Amino acid sequence: MRWLTALRLRVLRLLKRNRLDRELEEELRFHLEMREQENLASGMRPEDAHLGAARRFGNRTRWQEMSRDLFGFGWLETLAQDVRYGLRGLAKTPGFVLITALSLGLGIGANTTIYSLFKAVMLSEVTAAEAERLVRIDVASGTYSYPGYSELAESGVFSGLAAYTIRPGGGLNWRWRDETSSVFPLLASANFFDVIGVQAAFGRTFTAQEARSETNPQLVVLSHGFWQRRLGGDPSIVGRVLNLNGRPFTVLGILPRGYRSIEIFGLAPEVYAPISSLLLSKPDLESRDHHYLSMFGRLADSVTREQARAGLAVTMERLKNLHPKDPPGRFAIRGVYPISGVDRLLQDREVLPLVAFFGVLAVVVGLVLMIACANVAGLLLARGAARRREIAVRLAIGAGRGRLVQQLLVESALLAALGAGLGLLLNLAITTVMGRVPLPLPFPVEFNLAPDGRLVIYAAMLAAVTILLCGLLPALQSTRPSLTPALKRDEPQLGFRLFRLRNGLVVGQVAVSMLLLLAAVLFVRNLMRIGSADPGFDTHSTLAVEVDLLSERNSERQRETFAQRVIEQLRAVPGVEATANATYLPLSLNNWGTMMRKEGSSEDARFRVTIHPVGHDYFAAMRIPVLRGREFHSADRTGAPLVAVVNESFAKRHYPDGDVLGQRLLEGAVPVEIVGVVRDTKYLTLGEEPRAILYKSCGQSSGGTSFVVRTAVPPASVADAVKQAIGELDATAVVKVQTMRDHLAFAFFPSRVGALLLGTLGMLGLGLAMVGLYGVMAYSVARRTSEIGIRMALGASRATVLRMVLKDGGLLVGAGTAFGLAAALVATKPLAMLLASGLSATDPVTFIGVPLLLAAAGLGACLIPARRAMRVDPMAALRYE
């Protein structure tokens, strides 16, 4: 093993460098002395003997170095040398190192943070055994009914098919030590944990056998977070009982820490319970028309996703024939795809807007990094220029150009490593803060933002790219071998060329910064427009109240009775102007529907209708204008003829010609008469298109214990009084009171986050570009000090000098702005489809305001160098010529 011997010798050399050096020295000396003796013996004079030996030997230093190189690790040693030299050099210019490290740190930090966010939100994996064998089943209507699911589960296409639902509209009532609060549950089919295949950390999970819904199982499994937060992390809770919805549920076990639920995106249910009539209403369990379950399955061995999908399609065909009365579209399969990871993102259409948003963010931080790199490149160029003489000397005495370039690159690498380190620290800081900030979401989320190996690799890659971008050009530039001028320190030409290069960089920076800011501001305006969209009802003087009653008091009639009592009670609270109830509040993630048909049409003509049951005087309380007819009053209760109110969109869509008032619709066999039309409101999201909604009267359908309370005074001041008043009526109820604005905070949340992120990044990019501009201007003024001195000596006033400097700076900023604007006009066109109506892709406010902002910032950046130029003392400047 030749290489092993060689390696051994080399390692030896490395460790005992001095000894081997001495030995080499000794060996060569022996030879020379022997030769000298020979020469003496053959009669030469002593001086000649010595010289003769040396001459015959050849260039001794050369032979020594050749031997030394053979034994050394060659490149490794030169690298170590370069690192040491580079560190010394950097230590001498701390200011430069600081600015560079900060620029790179900010650029890399921003990039890695976005990456962490993306990974945590979109790519988080589900905790499950062999998660790649789990697939989501996407049916035509998104969710499915329980009887439908049961049929599918029996079909045997998968080795296990499970279903679950997360009820965001309100949790389960949980009674614990005299306090009633809400827990956020995941209701699952009996085989849920069997299909997922996860072990509990304490106790166990429920099995398919014991959790069958027919047996009304009272079992529950807790999440780790819930167990820690609300039960104090006491392991003895396993086997004990939690009072949920008024009934005792045995705690079977606790899931492990860091368990990520099937719903990904960070959603973290607090308890897991089997589906049964204890937790779901009868219609939910038995109706084929109530859709709310999400389904996933485990692929059988050696079955692919496509095969499973095909098998499923066949089963659906069979079921379609079994249920001829169901709408055929219900049995369509939209897709079977992985439950998490990149594959899911690529295939799940609902996720697409989020992915697009992250895409925009990624581009933005990429641009910020580019600006930072340009800064660093410019600084390195200037530094290289200052070391011109040193490099020329080294080239002159024989250093190879490659070697010098390597050394300069090593310096850049050290800077990049420093920047990457800072960037990672920044990432850590931001993600830690973000992990602590509570989000205004109606359900608990847990994001796993902890850094991992992939993050470090990503940061290293970024650092490598920045080295190449920032370091290569300056290194090559600096070592261009035209030695004599460098040695003589006389290079007006070179200085000029360098200057132009740096100028080019700054123009580029300004252009990119302009592009960045334009895009950012455009999007911020877009998001704010969406965010401030009028939801269609009063948001400033209204309270949103949600009350959850114990299940034994929660029948439809009991709810309605309770609601009426609450309305009475609240009338007496000072400051309250109007109160109304509803089954749920708008923009609270509730999306109810049912199938209806027009009176006189056939069964096949049924269509899906979005339903919102509201109480009497609801529209008045919400200040939603009643356009025609009337709204509900207290007479519209059980026993009275069924009535409904529709919104404008509904009237337009289903009764475009002719009067909608008096028309009747049939739900099943039950007729409902339309008695009023109201203005459109937002129902599910703030950004949605107008939706057709049919309002039923609470008193005639499901009853409602959500309330809207309109106040004459600022609503927050009445909140406590309202809460107390309701509490007096039923102490076991969970009462949640917030201002309507807060309730909508969830709907505003995406706009706010987006605006914050983009705005910050845009500002960051601008700041970095301005630092670059300042650097170039300062350098230019310093270079031209003698020229300025001469001008002033010849009579130029300070004002003239100021104008001269500002003109130069202005040219740079102007050129950059022009390029940036041109690029933006082209680049934002394709983004037009993402923008809200009313905002064009070349929005004048943005396209005029941002350049002005940039010009102002540029002016600021030039100011300090300009002032320094003005204060040049002509005598001093000329003296240092």
**Helix-helix angle 60-71:17-41, to 10 degrees:** 150
Alpha-carbon distance 745 to 544, whole Å? 12
Alpha-carbon distance 299 to 305, whole Å? 7
**Is the CB of residue 494 less than 8 Å from the CB of residue 388?**
yes
Residue 584 neighbours by CB under 8 Å, 6+ apart = 169, 590, 592, 612, 704, 706
CB 61 to another protein: min, Å? 10
**The binder of another protein chosen from 58, 398, 438, 600 (CB under 8 A):** 58
Told to check if 57 binds another protein by CB under 8 A, we report yes
CB 51 to another protein: min, Å? 14
**The binder of another protein chosen from 11, 12, 66, 425 (CB under 8 A):** 66
Count CB neighbours of 10 within 10 A: 17
**Helix-helix angle 453-466:352-386, to 10 degrees:** 40
Tokens linked to 234? 């006491």
Q: Which is nearer to another protein, 60 or 741 (CB)?
A: 60
Q: Which is nearer to another protein, 12 or 753 (CB)?
A: 12
**Is the CB of residue 118 less than 8 Å from the CB of residue 337?**
no
Options 64-72, 425-433, 514-522, 571-579: segment touching another protein (CB under 8 A): 64-72
Count CB neighbours of 818 within 10 A: 15
In angstroms, the Cα distances linking 259 to 128, 160, 169, 270 are 9, 21, 23, 11
In angstroms, the Cα distances linking 779 to 319, 343, 775, 784 are 78, 51, 6, 9
**The binder of another protein chosen from 14, 21, 63, 99 (CB under 8 A):** 63
Options 3-11, 98-106, 143-151, 687-695: segment touching another protein (CB under 8 A): 3-11
Is residue 64 exposed (0-12), middle (13-18) or buried (19+ Cβ within 10 Å)? middle
Q: Which is nearer to another protein, 29 or 565 (CB)?
A: 29
Told to check if 224 binds another protein by CB under 8 A, we report no
CB 379 to another protein: min, Å? 43
Options 4-12, 203-211, 233-241, 347-355: segment touching another protein (CB under 8 A): 4-12
Q: Which is nearer to another protein, 41 or 833 (CB)?
A: 41
Options 24-32, 202-210, 230-238, 430-438: segment touching another protein (CB under 8 A): 24-32
Q: Which is nearer to another protein, 32 or 528 (CB)?
A: 32
Q: Which is nearer to another protein, 69 or 210 (CB)?
A: 69
Place of tokens 């639902």: 165
**Is the CB of residue 331 less than 8 Å from the CB of residue 317?**
yes
CB 45 to another protein: min, Å? 21
Told to check if 356 binds another protein by CB under 8 A, we report no
CB 450 to another protein: min, Å? 48
**Is the CB of residue 854 less than 8 Å from the CB of residue 813?**
yes
Told to check if 23 binds another protein by CB under 8 A, we report yes
Alpha-carbon distance 268 to 225, whole Å? 8
Q: Which is nearer to another protein, 14 or 28 (CB)?
A: 28
**Is the CB of residue 206 less than 8 Å from the CB of residue 221?**
yes
CB 2 to another protein: min, Å? 5
What is the largest distance, in Å, between two alpha-carbon atoms of the chain? 140
Tokens linked to 379? 């600084």
Q: Which is nearer to another protein, 7 or 456 (CB)?
A: 7
Q: Which residues ranging from 27 to 56 are in contact with another protein (CB under 8 A)?
A: 27-28, 30-31, 33-35, 56
**The binder of another protein chosen from 41, 42, 47, 62 (CB under 8 A):** 62
Count CB neighbours of 534 within 10 A: 9
Tokens linked to 780? 């230019």
CB 48 to another protein: min, Å? 17
Q: Which is nearer to another protein, 57 or 85 (CB)?
A: 57
Told to check if 76 binds another protein by CB under 8 A, we report no
Options 60-68, 234-242, 308-316, 662-670: segment touching another protein (CB under 8 A): 60-68
Options 22-30, 406-414, 441-449, 839-847: segment touching another protein (CB under 8 A): 22-30
Alpha-carbon distance 171 to 183, whole Å? 5
Among residues 268, 218, 223, 280, which one has the least CA distance to residue 244?
218
- Residues at the site binding another protein, with contacts judged by CB under 8 A: 2, 5-6, 9-10, 23, 26-28, 30-31, 33-35, 56-60, 62-63, 66-67, 70-71
